[in-house]
């Protein structure tokens, strides 16, 4: 049995600590929202399948080797002739990172319904999709629709992270695509400024947006509030948890870490408050570490952040 099926574009990330024009060494790793979630869940002991397309180049080798090493099932990933996409993280100042993507015509952006259909298993408990994949073009959007429809028909839980990226599409285009998906979504995850992209246009306030989403069939609306923690809404009310205080080193990937923690709690049958606590904890591990996923915790490490700052665990 597979606990979670997720899919999308995985890329190779290149990071520099100085402006690119100054010249510097680049650190190479793997990036991609769904891949980050998959790794986070695998480290927490869940059985996760990721599917997508990579190039037949060395970058594709790195992605598949990394996911395999992290315990993610990649048995339905495929290789194609297009190049693997790249994302560059440029540390412009100590508090500002500039991100640029090199994904036009990339292998990952060619994913379509066929890849998701091949990876689908009726025993999957949760299918997780993101707005990033839906934004990549007709093929990736078809993959999202296929996954959501298959999961909904089979009674699996559908998780959707809005994950809006302004460089990929406008807010109007995102809303036009995401709103029709909502009736098939069980867990909707969004930051407070992303809620309007999934809720009906007539809903103006956050309370109205949450109410409208619940009325359309969403079981849980999870709102990420960054440094202010997070809150989950359902038909019985709401539950909130504060963020875990840590020294912030890198905010990239924090939302994906949060999702991994929340879905992990869901798979364990934990109540809403415990799910949120695990989510803000995994998010804290992410922002306290450099990289999209490298600092994510194993299950036995979830309590580490309770130690006093500066502690040495001996």
Cβ atoms 224, 255 nearer than 8 A? yes
User: Which is it for the CA torsion 201, 134, 164, 68, positive or negative?
Assistant: positive
Residues 6+ apart with CB under 8 A from 301: 285
List of residues 6+ apart from 205 with CB closer than 8 A: none
C-alpha–C-alpha distance, residues 57 and 106, integer Å: 12
Rounded CA-CA distance 176/182 in Å is 11
Q: How far apart are CA 51 and CA 187, in angstroms?
A: 21
Q: How far apart are CA 122 and CA 92, in angstroms?
A: 46
Structure tokens at 200: 């009906």
Residue 256 known to be catalytic: yes
In angstroms and rounded to an integer, the radius of gyration of the C-alpha atoms of the chain is 18
d(CA 92, CA 16): 9
DSSP class of 245: P
Q: In 71-219, where do the E strands start and end?
A: 78-80, 86-93, 96-102, 126-130, 157-161, 187-191
Exactly one of 3, 73, 186, 256 is catalytic; which is it? 256
**CA-based torsion, 212, 215, 218, 222: positive or negative:** positive
Show which residues are catalytic. 256
């Amino acid at each position: 049995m597979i606990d979670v099926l997720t899919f999308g574009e995985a890329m190779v990330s290149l990071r520099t600590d100085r402006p690119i024009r100054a010249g510097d060494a680049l650190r190479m790793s793997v990036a991609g929202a769904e891949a980050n979630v998959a790794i986070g869940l695998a480290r927490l002991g869940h059985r996760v399948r990721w599917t997508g397309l990579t190039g037949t180049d060395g970058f594709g080798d790195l992605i598949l080797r990394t996911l395999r090493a992290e315990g993610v099932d990649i048995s339905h990933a495929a290789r194609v002739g297009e190049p693997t996409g790249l994302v560059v993280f440029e540390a412009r100042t100590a508090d500002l990172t500039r991100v640029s993507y090199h994904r036009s015509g990339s292998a990952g952006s060619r994913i379509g319904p066929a890849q998701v259909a091949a990876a689908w298993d009726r025993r999957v408990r949760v299918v997780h999709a993101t707005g990033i994949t839906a934004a990549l073009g007709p093929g990736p959007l078809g993959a999202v629709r296929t996954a959501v429809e298959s999961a909904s028909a089979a009674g699996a839980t559908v998780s959707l992270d809005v994950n809006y990226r302004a460089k990929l599409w406008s807010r109007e285009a995102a809303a036009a695509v995401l709103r029709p998906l909502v009736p098939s979504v069980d867990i909707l995850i969004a930051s407070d400024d992303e809620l309007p992209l999934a809720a009906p246009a007539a809903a103006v306030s956050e309370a109205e947006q949450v109410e409208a989403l619940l009325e359309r069939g969403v079981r849980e609306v999870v709102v990420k509030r960054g440094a202010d923690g997070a809150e989950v809404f359902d038909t019985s009310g709401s539950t909130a948890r504060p963020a875990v205080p840590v020294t912030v080193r890198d905010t990239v990937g924090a939302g994906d870490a949060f999702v991994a923690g929340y879905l992990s709690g869901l798979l364990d049958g934990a109540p809403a408050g415990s799910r949120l606590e695990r989510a803000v904890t995994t998010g804290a591990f992410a922002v306290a570490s450099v990289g999209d996923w490298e600092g994510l915790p194993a299950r036995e490490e979830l309590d580490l952040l309770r130690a006093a700052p500066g502690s040495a665990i001996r």
